[in-house]
Amino acid sequence: MKKIGMLNSNISSIISQMGHTETLAIGDCGLPIPKETERIDIALIKDVPTFIQTLKVVLQELQIEEVEIAKETVDVSPKLYEEIKNEIGDVKITFITHEELKVKLKECKAVIRTGEQTPYANIILKSGVIF
């Protein structure tokens, strides 16, 4: 049994396979995930697990250099946007429309579906390097 870190084997596997600039998304329970993109569904019930809980755990293992979030997040869910900024620190944020974000999910290695029910609780994480 794994002693520390990410216990979800599907998420752990995806993170360990990611190379520089490849992307991984985390989304709310309503985000439409393209059929061609791997779905890692960890949603149990409303808000379990939350988007932020999931983001925190993923960021413990994945080095990122940029994130993409929907412009709508800032206006519709400002508290969530502040929480995202707090978690990612000084990482570059690129704003795209929610429609653009949904299209970009086709390029992601996977989308992690959470139980979150806050509007626009979605993010695309771009993998960085540790050297």
Which residue numbers are catalytic? 20
Confirm whether residue 98 is marked as ligand binding: yes
Confirm whether residue 28 is marked as ligand binding: yes
β-pair partners for 27: 113
- CB neighbours (10 Å) of residue 8? 16
Is residue 118 within 8 Å of 46, Cβ to Cβ? no
Confirm whether residue 90 is marked as ligand binding: no
CA angle 90, 51, 10 (to 5 degrees): 100
3-state secondary structure of 99: helix
53 closest CA partner among 63, 69, 68, 42:
42
Binding-site positions read: 28, 98, 120-122
Binding-site positions for substrate read: 28, 98, 120-122
